[in-house]
Amino acid sequence: MMTVHHVPAAGTTLTVHTAGAGRPLVLLHGFPLDHRMWESQTALADHVRLIVPDLRGFGGSAAAVATSMEQLADDVAALLAALHVTTPAVICGLSMGGYVAQHLAVRHPDRVAALVLVDTKLEADTPDARAARADLAAKVGRLGQGILADAMIPRLLAGSAAARGLPHRAAVEETLRRTILEQPVASIQAALGALGSRPDMTEAMRHVRVPTLLIAGAEDAITPPECLERAEEIMPCTRLLIVPHAGHMTPLETPAVFNAAVLEFLRHPPGTLGGAVPPA
Ligand code: MLT
């Protein structure tokens, strides 16, 4: 059972769902979703204090729109302060949430004990990808959120016959569609702009030395596993897991594998077994 909080952040109020006690684990959702994408991770609250915000512009935090990944990271720092979280947290982010987690690690290192970066990347958009986001924002303005759901859902989920045959596949599609249709058009358009203008984090992440788990869906069509393979090469203290039968939504598509990997990482983070974290 999650408790709902409404907490202040610069110029707005954010909705945050929490459950459990102990070590804080923050789950940051992808675009264009909200806290509901983490429903299958609620069981993790038996082990940690789960903190699951709706990022600015989405879900219960839609009173303001997102203008940059930096702003969303500052929001996470603000909500942790508002919730009186005094110890550094484990920050887990999927895709856009992963971009936010990286900025949090760089801008607010005192807030971050460890990272879980899921179906995401360090690099910025190419000029073509940025132009495609601008086109999509204009289309959503003309035609509404349905066009976004239609365009994104087939790319969010793994396409192989084995993945399409997973018993919960229809329920996952339904959750994604419902969630996308409920996000305000202005929020979607603003976030597409913020995603398109996000900086390349490759150099900055070379210096982030907290234990980091990288999780990639083997069939991710949006941020293919090579993105996190590149991150593994440059970040000092990482472990990479590539999950079969998962696309860009690994925590929803393969929740048992995902949850077990996170719990194992919390018990034995890289750098604590089999070698020390290299000196800064
Ligand atoms: C997401 O899942 O958050 C988006 O696909 C991120 C992106 O488009 O870069």
| Residue 226 covered by a domain | yes
| Residue 148 covered by a domain | yes
Cβ of 211 closer than 6 Å to ligand 1, yes or no, is: no
Atom of ligand 1 nearest to the CA of 133: 8
| Residue 279 covered by a domain | no
Alpha-carbon span 76 to 85, nearest angstrom: 11
Q: How far is the CA of 195 from the centre of ligand 1 (A)?
A: 8
Query: Can you give the CATH number for the domain in which 36 is found?
Result: 3.40.50.1820
Domain range enclosing 107: 3-267
- What the block records as the tokens of 142 is 């003309």
Q: What is the DSSP letter of 276?
A: P
Contacts of 58 (CB under 8 A, 6+ apart): 29, 32, 33, 34, 183, 187, 191
Alpha-carbon span 254 to 168, nearest angstrom: 10
| Residue 274 covered by a domain | no
Which of 235, 16, 278, 207 is CA-nearest to residue 117?
A: 235
Report the chain's mean pLDDT, rounded to a whole number.
95
| Residue 128 covered by a domain | yes
Q: How far is the CA of 11 from the centre of ligand 1 (A)?
A: 25
Give the pLDDT confidence of 198-247 residue by residue, as tens digits.
999 999 999 999 999 999 999 999 999 999 999 999 999 999 999 999 99
Q: Label residue 1 by pLDDT band (50, 70, 90).
A: confident
| Residue 113 covered by a domain | yes
Q: Label residue 193 by pLDDT band (50, 70, 90).
A: very high
pLDDT > 70: what percent of the chain?
97
Which whole-number Å values give the CA distances from 94 to 81, 115, 216, 248, in the listed order?
22, 11, 10, 9
Cβ of 55 closer than 6 Å to ligand 1, yes or no, is: no
pLDDT surpasses 90 at 272: no
Compute φ and ψ for 254, nearest 5 degrees.
-135, 65
- What is the pTM (predicted TM-score) of this model? 0.96
| Residue 275 covered by a domain | no
Q: How far is the CA of 151 from the centre of ligand 1 (A)?
A: 13
Contacts of 147 (CB under 8 A, 6+ apart): 139, 140
**Domain tally, the chain:** 1
> Which 3 state secondary structure label does DSSP give 263?
helix
pLDDT recorded at residue 271:
74
Contacts of 194 (CB under 8 A, 6+ apart): 66, 67, 68, 69, 71, 72
pLDDT surpasses 80 at 162: yes
Cβ of 247 closer than 6 Å to ligand 1, yes or no, is: no
Cβ of 30 closer than 6 Å to ligand 1, yes or no, is: yes
Q: How far is the CA of 47 from the centre of ligand 1 (A)?
A: 28
